[in-house]
Structures are given as C-alpha cells and as structure tokens.
A and B are shown apart, each in its own frame.
Chain A
Amino acid sequence: MIEFAVDTTPEGIGVVTPKGRLNMSSARGLKEILDGLVSDGTSKIVVDLAETTFLDSSGLGALIAGLKAARQSGGDLRVARPTEAVLTVFKLTNLDRVLRPRDSVEGAFDA
C-alpha cells in the first residue's frame, strides 16, 4: 500500500511525497491530492519520488494530469529524485521531456 506526505514550503510550494507503489489503485489518491492543492491555490508543486518504488502508467497519468492542472492555474508541477525503477518508466515513455527529473526538492523550482 502507499502513503502520501504533503507539505508546503515557506515559499508556498507544495511538496507531495508518495511512499510506496504508485499503481492504478494508488494513483487516484495522488490525483486527488494534486487537484486539492491546485484548487486551494497551491499551483507550484514538487512531487518527490525518492520513496516511490514503482510507477505504472496510471501513476504517470496522475502526474501528467497534475501537471496540466498546475499549468492551467499559472504554476507548474515538477518531479524530483526519481528512483532507478521510476526513471526507467519516464525514459521509456519519453515523458522525461515533459517531466524533467530534478536532483533535489529544494532546487526543483530554481530553473
């Protein structure tokens, strides 16, 4: 199963950390959290993937949907610190072009 840690930095950036497997059943939970952040006015979001052990297409779908929602509200969604397994999925689908993995959560919005 999966848990999500949700924090907001002093700069107002939302940080979501999925801990465990992001698959079809858990992707819904991530989607709800991302939608909730955007509708509460937090449109800059970092998803910290350091503790995400597995990501399938539904997990990717939740990230893409979150990215679209964040951009529509004038913000952005960035991903940080993907594990090797997760990075493989990004690379296979070429979605690393849209969700470029960042090395750290703190620096995810630096450039």
Chain B
Amino acid sequence: MGHDVVESGERRRQRAVESLGLTGRSEERFDRIARLARKVFDAEWSSITVLDGDQAWFPGAAGFPGERMARDQTFCDRTTRAGEVVLVADASKDERFADLPAVVERGIRSYAGVPLRDPGGNIIAVFCIYDRAVRTFDEEEVQTLEDLAAWAQQELVSSTEMTRAGQVQASMQPSRPIQVDGWEVNGTCVPALAVGGDHFDYAVQNGIAHLGLGDVMGKGTGAALLGAGVRAAVRGTHEAVVSGVDLGVTVTQVARRLTPDLMRAESFVTLFDAAIDLDDGYLRYVDAGMGLCLVVRADGTLDRLDSDDLPLGVLPDDHWSEQSTTLRPGDRMLLFSDGLLDLVEDPEHWWEPVAELVLAHEDTTSLLSAIVRMAVDQVQLDDVTAVAVFRRP
C-alpha cells in the first residue's frame, strides 16, 4: 500500500513534468536565473533540475555544462522526495547525501535546494546551488534563495500574459448549458497549458441545436490561435446549418477556407460538427477524423458516431460527407477530444469506460464536472474537452 502511494505520486509528478512541454534542453531564460544565483551566493554551481523518468536534466545550469545524469545520483532527487527546502552545510557528514558520487568523487559539501511546484502542487523541478566549501545559510540567504526559486517556478509554469490569454479563450466558450424541451446540451474544456488547441461551441436556432468540437494539432498558444480561426469559420456556417444545409457541404466550405492556413502552419484539425432537430431528435453530423463520439442508448446499447473522413488540413482537395442517426428519449451522447482518451482505462476500447462514465451521471453538469476532476486529478497531458447531449426519457 505504502509503495503504491509512492508509485502513483511519482506517476502524477512525471505527468506534471511532461505537461510543461519543456524541450529537454537548456534554455537561456533558465540559465539566466542559475547564473544569477551562482553570483549572488558565490557558489560554484547552480541549476534548475528536472527529474524525468530515471534521468535528471537541467533546463538551466551555471558553472557546469549541465549534461543529463542518472536521477538517483542527484541531490535534487532526494530533495524532491523530501518535498521541502533542503539546506546542507556539509554533505559528507549528512547521511541523506554522504553516499552521492557528487560528494564522494567531486567533493561537493554544501547544498541548498528548493522544490518548484505547479499550480496543482506537484513538484516539477528543484532550484539549487552547490559548492565544495562547507557553508551555512542564514535567514536572509534562505529568503533570497526562495525568491529566485519563485522566479524560476513562474518561468517554468506560466506567465501572467498566458493566464490572461487563457481567460480570453475561456470567455469564447458558450457561457451556459442549453436546456429546452427535455434536452440538455453542455460543454467543458480543460486546457493542458494556459491556452489550448481545443474548442467547443453550441447554439440553438429554428429548433435546431448546432454543436461542435474541434481539436487543433498540438497544444499551447500556436494551437489556440489556429483554434480561434476554426471556431470562427464554423460559426460562419451556423445560419446555413440551422436552415438545413447539408453539413458535408458546410464542413467542406470551412476546410476550403482553413486549409491554406493549416498547411502553412504545418498543422491539422480534427472536427466533429453536428445539428440536432430538437423536435424529433434527428441528428446530422460530420466526423472529420475525430472518431470520439459515443451515443449511449436508453436501452444501454452503444453507437459510435464516426466516419472514414480525414481531419482538415491533411489533403488539399478533400471533401466531407454528412451522416445521420436519431437521438430518442433517454439517449445520451458524449463527444470529446483525445485528451480524455489518455485518462481512461483501456484507451483501445475507450467506449466501454466512457459509457460507464456517461451512465454514472444523471445530468450533463455532473458528468462534465467528473471529466474535469479526472483531468485535474491525473494532471492531463493534452487539452481535455467534452460536449454532452442528454435527451430526457
């Protein structure tokens, strides 16, 4: 049991590290902080250390080249396990560190390390200084070290500008669920970084609910910029869709508009676009390489709404075709991006765990809250977006 807790804590920590999207190489913005720390403390070495699998690498290093090394040979591995600021005056006399090759072979004596955390509290790196001289750290020095560590943490995790961008992106989503005539349509999006490449949208007009979900390749700012364009292009077809124009035609128009941009950006978009007649439940849809829409029928049978159509932006002169089904009273539909796939047991047979999830909730709000909790609890690596449609029995 104790061992399992450590294992799952480490798995969660590793996912948190991966979700930062770091390059695995040193970067000037981190080297700068390490250089400053080395100077301020007159220390021989300083680093920002990331533990990644069984290795340790250095986004920022000063005083040494910062080659990757085995994780279990680092001070920072032990600081990560301690989960708090570690100050060592003489490592050769400290049983926590005395056996490290850095102490035995390279003669390091003093060490100070501060764990760096993401907003979820996961330790994603350690900021530290080392020296061959024995030394102690007074209160003011510890304060300075923590200030520099806070800067490094901010640089690793996000910046205020990105936070603002995330707010703008969230404000572009529908603000409340649709609840009419026994229907509920609702959506949520949890980006892996401050902003993401997923988007969802829905609106009702003429008794038709037009809804969709798009996923731009990758994540982060580049994907978000393209995603805003996709959303606008699909919105541009709304009047036509609610007037009954074939979705194969409207999605192909969207693709014609976006493909030159996507090709230049070397990106592509998976998209699911649907229109539901709220009077009789007739559902028309186009699946452009998304493949992740499940209908859980009132009698418990499962239907996956997919197609052979490609994502947008892959081939220059492709086309898309409309398909259809009917949502009857008691049927529930969940449409989601592949970020959720990462979080379910057995992604190769995803419809089984996803159906269980859909059936475990009586309304769309509690279903989507559960999906958000899964994303947050497991520290998702990719944007997680979902749109749920419930038709009351």
A residues near B (Cβ < 8 Å) are: 1, 23-28, 31, 56-58, 60-61, 64-65, 68, 84-85, 88-89, 91-95, 97-98
Task: Kindly provide the distance from the CB of B113 to the nearest chain A CB, expressed in whole angstroms.
Answer: 22
Bound state CA distance, A65 and B267, in angstroms? Answer: 8
Q: Across the interface, do A25 and B217 meet the contact criterion of CB distance under 8 Å? A: no
The answer, among B289, B347, B382, for a CB contact under 8 Å with A93, is: B289
- Are A57 and B292 closer than 8 Å at their CB atoms? no
B23 CB, min distance to chain A CBs, angstroms: 6
Closest 4 CB pairs of A and B: A92-B291, A93-B289, A61-B217, A57-B217
Question: Chain B 210-247 against A: per-residue CB contact (8 Å), 1 yes, 0 no?
Answer: 00000101111000000000000000000000000000
Q: Which residues of B contact A84 (CB under 8 A)?
A: 348
CA distance A57 to B307 in the complex (A): 18
Tell me if A93 and B308 are in contact (CB < 8 A). Answer: no
Q: Which chain B positions have C-beta within 8 A of A88?
A: 347-348
Interface set, chain B 68-115, CB cutoff 8 A to A: none
Q: A64, A65, A68, A93 — which one has the most chain B CB atoms within 10 A of its CB? A: A93
Q: How far is the CB of B98 from chain A (nearest CB, A)?
A: 30
Name the residue in B53, B266, B348 with the highest tally of chain A Cβ atoms < 10 Å from its Cβ. Answer: B266
* Pairs across A and B, CB under 8 Å, 25 listed: A23-B18, A24-B218, A24-B219, A31-B266, A56-B381, A58-B217, A60-B268, A61-B217, A61-B218, A61-B268, A64-B268, A68-B263, A84-B348, A85-B347, A91-B291, A92-B289, A92-B292, A92-B341, A93-B290, A93-B291, A94-B307, A94-B311, A95-B289, A97-B308, A98-B314
Residue of A nearest to B54 (CB): A1
Q: Judging by beta carbons under 8 Å apart, are A24 and B289 in contact?
A: no
Closest approach, in angstroms, between the C-beta of A55 and any C-beta of chain B? 10
Asked if A1 and B338 sit within 8 Å, CB to CB, the answer is no
Interface size on B, residues (CB 8 A): 36
* Inter-subunit contact B268/A1 (CB<8 Å): no
**Residue ranges of B at the interface with A (Cβ–Cβ < 8 Å):** 18, 21-24, 52-53, 55, 215, 217-220, 263, 266-268, 270, 289-292, 306-311, 314-315, 338, 341, 347-348, 381-382
Q: Which chain B residues lie closer than 8 Å to A89 at the CB level?
A: 338
Smallest Cβ-Cβ distance to B287: which chain A residue: A94
For A20, the closest partner residue in chain B by CB is B53
Bound Cα distance A110, B39 (Å):
61
Shortest A3–chain B CB gap in Å is 11
CA of A27 to CA of B309, assembled, Å: 24
Q: Are A95 and B218 in contact, with the CB atoms below 8 A?
A: no
- A56, closest chain B residue (CB): B382
Residues of the B chain whose Cβ atoms lie less than 8 Å from the Cβ of A56: 338, 381-382
Taking CB atoms, residues of chain B closer than 8 Å to A25 are 18, 21-24
Query: In the assembly, what is the distance between CA of A83 and CA of B211, in Å?
Result: 34
In the complex the two chains form, what is the Cα distance from A65 to B268 in whole Å? 10
Report Cα–Cα, A50/B200, bound state, in Å.
Answer: 35
Shortest distance between the CB of B134 and any CB in chain A (Å): 35
> CA–CA, A27 to B218, complex, Å?
10
* Alpha-carbon distance A84/B350, docked complex (angstroms): 13
Q: Is the CB of A94 within 8 A of B310?
A: yes
B218 touches A57 (CB 8 A): yes
* CB atoms of A1 and B53 under 8 A apart: yes
Contact A1 B314, beta carbon cutoff 8 Å: no
Among B55, B218, B310, B381, the residue within 8 A (CB) of A97 is B310
- Evaluate contact between B23 and A98: CB separation under 8 angstroms: no
- Bound form: Cα–Cα A111–B381 in Å: 37
Q: Among B217, B218, B310, B348, which residue has its beta carbon within 8 angstroms of that of A85?
A: B348
Which single residue of chain B is at the shortest CB-CB distance from A60? Answer: B217
